[in-house]
Amino acid sequence: MALDFLTLYLIILFNFLALSILWGAIAFAYRTLKPARYWLAACVLLTATGGTLMLVGNGESLRLEIFGNVLSIVAIGQFSIGLRIFFGKPARPSITLAVVLGVVLMMVLPEIRDSVAARNLAFSSARIVLLVIVLVILLDETRYAVGRRIGIVGVSITTLGHVGLIAGDYLMLRQITEEDGYYLLTSYALLASIFGAVVWSLGFAVMTIERLHDDVAMIADVDDLTGLPSRRVITRQFRSLAAAPGDVHSLLLFDLDKFKPVNDTFGHAAGDAALRHFATIARQSMRESDVIARLGGDEFCAILPHTRAADAEAIASRVLAALQATPVDWKGDPIHVSSSVGIAEWDTREDAQFAVLISRADAALYTIKSGGGGKIAIYEPVVTEHRLLVASR
């Protein structure tokens, strides 16, 4: 039994009206998420497609039929453009424009314009070109796996539905099938296409959620002033190293010297510049395997994997020397940034906590801050007492 096309067009209208509300809310709430605007436009166009084709079903003009189908082609093009932007690729709207122009030009030809099957064959072929492009983009990516896989399933279903539409139109053109068989095949193929489109739209919504989750995680992982990792990142690094017993690592705690007078003399903008300068120098002076993070204020922490305290001291000395050699140029006035460094070495066989290592390095810092700073102290526990080896730099 063939499905009623008027009912199918009504399904298109209401399904994509609901999705338009969804994407409208997302586009409004996350205005910097440009792809959401394209996907909203696509759903609005498909809503209009459903409404337009319902009028055609009620006996309106051929032009209205062509218009409704062209809207659906443009809609899939909008999905494609939004997807390209979502994955950081060039938008390339010219592809959609070329496909639309090609279909419009086909409608000029009497042998296509005057045949229902030929017209539908042209429309379905145009849509399947853009669907394949969407599918290739999704298959080419590895990010946002859950939503992307849902999208792949949805686009594949819609593409297969369009294969059915093309098959029905071809069989009708070649007079291989009767009208009843034609409407039976194409009605179910259109239903599959509608279902697939709803599935891939939901897949895109899931991809958006995954991306927003990653953005939030990145904000939490990066200090917005210096661009260094946050305390959360360096804590994860500590746990990762602690999970592999039998090695020795070092933790460095940097505390900038006389930082408050910089803010008081030059202003907070100069203080921010000094913090960014320190972050840049520290990253450049350390090894690629070292992780340095901003704990807050003028305190920074670094973890040096597979490094004993003596070697960590050499790296800390390199940072201090680079700081001394390159003052901050603040509106023509040099601002000399210096730091005191406390070092705590730990063996992963020891059941040490991150907070304990911080306190050890801080204890080392405490002994040298009162002496003017610019020094390095190594915390070295012994059996009966804690001894601090202080090296002036």
Question: Exposed, middle or buried: residue 311 (CB in 10 Å: 0-12, 13-18, 19+)?
Answer: middle
What span, in angstroms and rounded, lies between the C-alpha atoms of 318 and 281? 10
What's residue 393's pLDDT? 47
Among 3, 22, 97, 14, smallest CA distance to 49 is for 14
Tell me the C-alpha to C-alpha distance, in Å, between residue 203 and each of 49, 148, 165, 245, 302. 21, 6, 24, 42, 40
Tell me the domains of the chain and their CATH numbers. Answer: 5-220 (1.20.1070), 231-391 (3.30.70.270)
Q: Residue 254 CA to chain centroid, in angstroms? A: 32
CA 35/CA 282 separation, integer angstroms: 38
Q: What is the pLDDT of residue 380?
A: 73
- CB-CB contact of 257 with 338 (8 Å): yes
What's the pLDDT score for residue 60?
58
Pair 197, 154: CB distance under 8 Å: yes
**Structure tokens, 161:** 């539905």
Give the DSSP H or E segment for 88.
none
In this predicted structure, what is the pLDDT of residue 283? 93
Position 1 scores a pLDDT of 65
Question: How many residues appear in the chain?
Answer: 393
Q: What is the structure's pLDDT at 59?
A: 52
Phi, psi of 25 (to 5 degrees): -65, -40
DSSP code for 333 = E
Structure token pair of residue 206: 């899931």
Predicted local confidence at residue 63, as pLDDT: 87
Return the pLDDT at 386: 42
Q: What is the pLDDT of residue 387?
A: 43
Cβ neighbours, 10 Å, residue 381: 13
pLDDT along the chain (393 residues), means of 10: 83 95 95 95 96 76 91 96 95 95 93 90 95 96 94 96 93 84 90 95 95 83 89 90 86 92 88 93 93 93 94 94 90 88 88 87 85 83 47 47
Q: Is 315 exposed, middle or buried (0-12, 13-18, 19+ CB in 10 A)?
A: buried
User: For residue 55, what are its two tokens?
Assistant: 């009028």
DSSP-derived letter for residue 61 is -
Q: What is the distance between the alpha carbons of residues 80 and 38, in angstroms, rounded to a whole number?
A: 9
267: helix, strand or coil: coil
**pLDDT for the residue 291:** 94
Angstrom distance (rounded) from CA 194 to CA 135: 16
Burial class of residue 162, CB neighbours in 10 A (0-12, 13-18, 19+): buried
Residue 318 contacts residue 285 (beta carbons within 8 Å): yes
For residue 165, list its beta bridge partners.
none
Entry pTM? 0.71
Q: Torsions phi, psi of 224, nearest 5?
A: -70, -20
